[in-house]
Structure 1
Amino acid sequence: MLRSFLIGLVAGQRGITPLATIGLATYRGEVDDDLPLQKLFHNPVVTAGAVAFAAAEMAGDKMKSAPDRTIPIGLGVRAITAAYAGAALAPRRQQVSGAVVAVAAAMVSSYIGLGMRKAAMRQVGQTPSGLVEDALVFGSALAITNPQLTGTQGLLE
């Protein structure tokens, strides 16, 4: 359940990143593909599309007009992707619990992350703080969802 919790923390910062890294993990065979629609990620175009959407979200975050992650639609996207990713990473027959844990972590971390980001923006600006956040979030998501790719197998079990 640790991986479900951790991917929830990621979802609180970037809504699409958990879906993109679950897609990559599914494509690579690192997670079971027993969730609805998850088999679609065996298609490299679908997986690449999820990664492209995550990259677009990260790019959009640097724009002055980017809304806070805690607006209702932002929280909704985070809840949905956290639930899906949390369920995908949970042990069999514990998918519902994994989804609940991930959503709870995402909701709390959205507010905490926003506060931390605003503080960082006051110090270094929107783009530099966002780039650092992107690196931390994407790197963490890859390590959580693709442990064989990142060499972190065994650390999160």
Structure 2
Amino acid sequence: MSTADAVDREVAWLITSGDGLPVLLSTSGGQWQNVQAYMPRTPGRRGSNIFVLRRTIREERFANQRRMAIYEFHLKLVWPLSSGSGTSEADQRAFDSAVDDVLARIGGFPGDHSHGGRFRSVAESPHWVDVRFEDPAATVPADAEFRAEITYFADDAEFTG
């Protein structure tokens, strides 16, 4: 494992299906059309997207020989205004439901928060996952979409170095 592939490892977890946790990708029955590592130069419009980014890498040292990388993951969520009724309330409710699926997948299985062994632990330290919704009064008229950001931390496996 390397710090360079942490974002790809987290995306691999988020797009996993058939394990009993909510499925995210619409091609597998979920609510999101796209879950991808990194922000594209020109993000697609009018689609439900999750862009997985990393804000920080911190390396902690133990006994001058062991090290562990800690990542701050940052998910940018984009949800299109698509209600044919002309109101946005139904789309906001659908967005809330889709965000709930993302939170369940981040939380993982009871007793195993390693995201399938990809990390030592995810969303465990600190003991919170932060979701911040942007004001729809600003995002709907300008871009016809809802946006939120999710932030959480992951500890990687320890290594000698």
TM-score, length-normalised on structure 1?
0.32
Q: Whose helix fraction is larger, Structure 1's or Structure 2's?
A: 1
* Larger of the two Rg values belongs to structure: 2
TM-score, length-normalised on structure 2?
0.32
